[in-house]
Each structure stands twice: as C-alpha cells, then as structure tokens.
Structure 1
C-alpha cells in the first residue's frame, strides 16, 4: 500500500521528543508498505534529514520510509497564536500532499491510506479532505484528546478561547465519525472517541510503548558529573510547562534536604526559568539538565534509582494521558513515583512497580520518594517488576505490529472508492 503518515511532531531517537511515529512508520515499511511521513520542525525533534530546504521543504529516506519535512517550526515555548498558525500551515501543506499522487509512483496513483496522528488535531483536515475529494480512507490516531485537554487546562488558568475549542470539537467529531479506524492511546481516550461518534467496531487502543533495547537497566549508566555518587537519583524527563506541575516536585524537594536524595529534571519549557530560580533561591536538592537524545536519556535512567511522572492536579489527566516518561522509566527498570491517579496509578499498583500519591500533596510525594530512597531491597524488587511490566505490556515493537494489523484490516474492509465525478476533471 501507499501510505501517507501525517505527524507534525515526528522525531527519530536522535531527538529528545516522542518516537512513536518513528517505530510505527518503520514497522509499516518493514511489512512491505510504501510509507511517506510528513512532518514539521518541532523543537527538540530530529527528523533524520540534513539536506538543504528547497521551497520550504526537504525529503529523503529515514529507516526505510520517506520523510517529507516542511519548514514549519512549532514548539511548546511558542504562544497560542504562533502555535495555532503553525498547526494551520502544516495542515495546508499536508493537504496539498494528500491530494496529489503518491511521490515516486510511476503510474501517478493516489494514496491508499492516510494515517493522521493528533496532536495537533488539525492533522485531521488533510485526511478529511482526501477522503471527501479522493475517496481515500484514513486512520485517526488520538494521542492527546483535543479539545478536552485544552478545555481542562483552561479551567486551570491556561485560557484557550471558547470559539477555538468549539471549532476543534467539530473537527474531532468529523474525524472520529469518518475515520476507517480510530486508534487511541488509552481506554479513556477511546471512550471520548466513541462519544464523538466513532464506530465501536473500529476503535482500537494501542498504548504508549518504549524501545526495550534502547531503554534497558543493563546499559552503560551515566550520571551528571556534578551530582555526588552517593546520592539517590530520582529523574523526571519531559516538558517543563504549566500542565506538568513541576513546582510540586520542588515542594517535595524542600522536604527532602539532607536525605541523600536528588531530583533531576531533564527538559525544556515555559516554566523552566522560574523553576530554576526557585531551586537556586531555596537551595533545593534539584539538578536541571537540557533535553537530550533518547540514547543519552536511557543512560541517565540506567544510572537512576527512581523515575518520576508528574502532572498538574487536573482531574482529566487521570485517564486521558499516556506519557512517554512512564513507559521509558519502566523499561529502564525504575520504580516509578507519580502524582497522577487513574490509569498510571493502576498500572503501578497492579505491577508492583511504583507508588502513586494524591495530586497536589507535596508531603505524600516527599514521603514516597524517601520511602524508596531509604529501602534498597524494596527498590530493587520494584525495579525487577517494572522491567517485567514493560516487557509484557509496553514493548513498542509489539504495539507497532498491532498498528500494522489495524492498517491492513482497514485496507481489507475499505476498498478505494472512485473519486467524485466533479473531481476527476480537476485532478
């Protein structure tokens, strides 16, 4: 099949951001499909392309599939208007690609299938246009539910205008109803897709996974040289934005002075300057590191004793999020401490591989960290359980294989429709 994979924030493992699309596109290519992945230029991402940009884009082979990278910068540090414009610019560029013949096809044939991976939800625009104008079926992958999560954050003070939320809601409704299949990262996201009109028989839950070879407790460890070797390291690796609620970790650190435990925060975001200033002013046992490639992060996790999953105390996060840091920490054999209830807490409890505390409770968070820092046998038992949970449930290769099965099932039950008559003359 000729597959167009739309993922604006795509990165290879050489970057510091999520690599789900890299593994999924690679699995589709390995299964014999011709995959073209279209992306923008996301902060922290590394697409694998290094050639010059011509007319606002560049393309080339990466890991067995074609990558088309548009010169459209996007990142969490941008304001709402700048990010919204980046989303719309990418949707326009991807729409042109979706409506043209598949590149490199000598017969000039069109795409057999489009995969639109959200966020941002605007990736659904080219998929919907191609379905209407070309009869191309599409799979809608929901990694973060919009407008539900932005609406929840708006109630916490991160305002998104109501007309924007309403427009995103209509787009999400159309994508869920018209998709040949909807792929959700959690059961909670799947329920939202059903509420938006998705066919129950065409909704699949494919969780967030980790590369079990890259993230492994047995790889060569690396510790920041400025951190004393005798300290117990608890590592958080991810965005430093309002949604992450990292001041809760600093609240816990204030209670953990002189205990031999150090919190390491890896990443970037709008909140980082304030976090660093507070940690310095209060002399907290906290170290800040810049974002790093996945291979380097894996070595840091291999040197750590505890992994951290922290989010702001927003109730909707409980069932609607699937953070990379949870899967990668467990794959690294780290007992996890989290303040996120719901799905993450259930996974840790069932696997015996971590501790969950109530959101916003700095005393409980500090107590959980101290309990693991001062009990090496318990920590080691949880570490073994963490790796086992990752092997059984979070292997990105198995999850990618399930996506290949979804794609091939869609192709089998969704034969191409002839393009509408009015479009045949315009093509």
Structure 2
C-alpha cells in the first residue's frame, strides 16, 4: 500500500508536543508500506524561525527513517496572533497540493484535521487524481472555534462549515479521535458505518514509571521537599490555564509548587498574570521534547489537565491525560465529559469544575496528605491506559482501516 499522509505539524520525538502521526507513519513503514508525509515547516507547540527565503522553502524533501517527508512553505509565526494562525493554515493550504501533486499516485491519502483549510485543498487533489481520501478528525472545526469565541466572522464560519460538510461527504472513511466526536458527526446526519473511532494511545516504550528520572528533575529544580503539581502541554485559549494560577494563589505559603511546561498563544498572558499576582510558587518553562516528557511527569506528585468548559470539549480526550496516566501519576481533571469519565472509570484521580481554582487547590491539599491514595490512583490509571489506550493496538487499527479503504475504493470509488 502506498500511503500519503497530510498533516501540517508532523514532528518526531525530539520536538515538543504530541508525535502521533510520526508514530503511525513509522509503524506503517515498518510493516512494508510506502509512506510519504506532506507537512508544514514547523511544529504546533513551538515555531522554528525560517532561515531560508520563502522561494527556497516551497518544497523540501527529507527522510525520517523509512518515511519520506515533503515540507512545503508555511507561515511559521502561528503563535503571534489568531491572524498569524490563519495565515499559517492558508499558506499550508496553498503549498500542500504541490507536495501531493509531485508524488507518484498513492493508493490512499490520510488527511488529519484541524486545520480544515488544508483538508479542502487536499480533497481537491484527491478528486483530480482519483485517490480515496480518509479524513481523521481530531477536533470539530469550525464549531470548537465558534464556541471558544475565536471565530466570529459569519462569512468565514459559513465557508468553513461548507468545507466541513463537503469533506465528510467525500471522504471514503472518517476517523474520529474520540467517541464524542463520532457521536457529534453521526447526530448531524452522517452514517455511523462511515465512521470509526481510533483514539490516541500511549507508547509503553516511552511513557512509564521512571522514578530515578523524576528525582533527577526534582534535584535540578531544587524542589526535592516540595509537592509538585504539573501541567505539560499547549498554552492556548482552549487550555484554561487561569484555573491553575487561581489554585496556585490559594496554595501560597504551602510547600506546593506549580510547574507549567509548554508554549502557545496565551503563554505571555499566563506569565504576566503569574507575575502580577506574585505567584512565586509557579514556574513556567519552555516546551520540552516528547522524549523528555517522561522525566518531568515522573517528577510530579500530581498532574493537571484542563480545558475551557464548552460543550464540544466534553468529547475531548487530551493526550496529556493519557501520558500522565501511563507514568502512573494521579490526575486532577478539569475537563467534563469523556476525559472526566476516563479518570473516574479508572480511579486514576479526581475531577474538578473547569473554572473552580479553589476546588482544585483543595483537592491538591487533600491529596498532599494522602500519599497512599495517590500511589493507588497512579497504579490504577496506568493499568487502565495499558488496557484501553495501547498505541500499538490503535496503530494496527488505523493500518487496517487504510487497507480497507483502498479495497473499497477499488470496488466503488467515492462519488463526487
């Protein structure tokens, strides 16, 4: 099988943020499939400044093990503003087709959204060349942007909604990252048999209990005798990190330290607010590569996951939640819906209301005095993700879905 994957933020374990597409493509190549990734020039978590002029960055070819990678021109300053992010999406929408058109015709294209604009131009190339398109939906756009208040322009909302409908109609299969995403799409009229849930998974070789690595980080921070609360991930509008600062304010004067690691559009605001409140118990660090995440997670006594309290996020499963659980860390979850249900079903931690910093601080104080309960929560969470969110199982499921999509397309190509 010849597979082309279109994803704007392809990156390996040496970059910060998730590496799910990297892991999937390496698996596919390891199974003997011919895999090419068409990607932008920068990761989602942290933009690398462009060195070459734009005309020398239109198309660059790399190899990542057995995977071929085509990098196409992308506006890299996506974290400066929402207009910068839009420019990044549009630039990749215009350049990605160049990468796809330059390939020997693949048997199937897997396109991962959001963003949605590059998915539309990817579909145009697939339509032109008669290639079956499998659409992976990681987040529901434009609805999530509308609910967060980021997207208000009615014309832009209408255009993006039209693109979403067309893509769902034209894709031979739709892969939903969570049950909530699948249920939303089915409720809006698309047939359930067209959709399949393939969740995020945890790689046991990367994420596991590693107390020596955790102790090393604690020594580096000088926090050997502190109770460390960790947030590791994006710092955007959706991530609702003000609630963590509110909790830190409540914990002032106690041996509790809050460690926030990551990057995103809201990071300067988070830093400014922490400084304005005089939160000397908060340390905000730059993003770290994925292959260093295990050490920092194991350094924490408690880990926090939080998102804005909007209806669509009730179907979200943040990858950081699974990463925490894989390392046997107890979790404090401020995400209602599917994520909170996982924490409850696993017995992996405690849930709190999305905007209730005082409740979060109370839970931290409660668990600070109950190390045995924390240990039990961590063990339960680790066992749960190993049973239900095994990355190897999920990669095999995606491989089989792509193979099935090729066979279906050969028998009855998608109508257009």
Residues 57 and 72 of structure 2 are in contact (CA less than 8 Å); yes or no, is this contact kept in structure 1?
no
Alignment match, 2:183? 191
Tell me how far 1:329 sits from its aligned partner. Answer: 0.8
Are the structure 2 counterparts of residues 236 and 137 from structure 1 closer, same or farther at C-alpha, using a change threshold of 3 Å?
A: same
Matching of residue 302 in structure 1 with residue 292 in structure 2:
no
Q: Return the TM-score normalized by structure 2.
A: 0.91
Output one character per residue of 1:317-360: Cα deviation in whole Å (capped at 9) or x when no partner: 111x2212111111111111011110011001100001111121
Alignment match, 2:31? 31
Tell me how far 1:159 sits from its aligned partner. Answer: 4.1
Candidates 340, 356, 363, aligned match of 1:368: 363
Residues 116 and 141 of structure 1 are in contact (CA less than 8 Å); yes or no, is this contact kept in structure 2?
yes
Tell me how far 1:55 sits from its aligned partner. Answer: 4.8
Are the structure 2 counterparts of residues 132 and 125 from structure 1 closer, same or farther at C-alpha, using a change threshold of 3 Å?
A: same
Tell me how far 1:197 sits from its aligned partner. Answer: 4.7
Output one character per residue of 1:19-42: Cα deviation in whole Å (capped at 9) or x when no partner: 110111112112221110011123
Aligned counterparts of 1:198 and 1:63: Cα–Cα separation in 2: 38
Aligned counterparts of 1:318 and 1:373: Cα–Cα separation in 2: 28
Aligned counterparts of 1:388 and 1:198: Cα–Cα separation in 2: 35
Matching of residue 164 in structure 1 with residue 156 in structure 2:
yes
Alignment match, 2:269? 274
Alignment match, 1:13? 13
Residues 10 and 40 of structure 1 are in contact (CA less than 8 Å); yes or no, is this contact kept in structure 2?
yes
Candidates 238, 245, 252, aligned match of 2:240: 245
Structure 1 unaligned blocks of 5 or more: 103-109, 421-427
Structure 2 unaligned blocks of 5 or more: none
Candidates 345, 350, 354, aligned match of 2:340: 345
Aligned counterparts of 2:45 and 2:352: Cα–Cα separation in 1: 32
Candidates 217, 228, 246, aligned match of 1:223: 217
The SS at the match of 1:414 is helix
Superposition RMSD in Å: 2.5
Tell me how far 1:51 sits from its aligned partner. Answer: 12
The SS at the match of 1:415 is helix
Aligned counterparts of 2:338 and 2:365: Cα–Cα separation in 1: 24
Aligned counterparts of 2:285 and 2:17: Cα–Cα separation in 1: 15
Tell me the number of residue pairs that the alignment of Structure 1 and Structure 2 aligns: 408
Residues 177 and 199 of structure 1 are in contact (CA less than 8 Å); yes or no, is this contact kept in structure 2?
no
Aligned counterparts of 1:416 and 1:375: Cα–Cα separation in 2: 60
The SS at the match of 1:73 is coil
Alignment match, 1:105? none
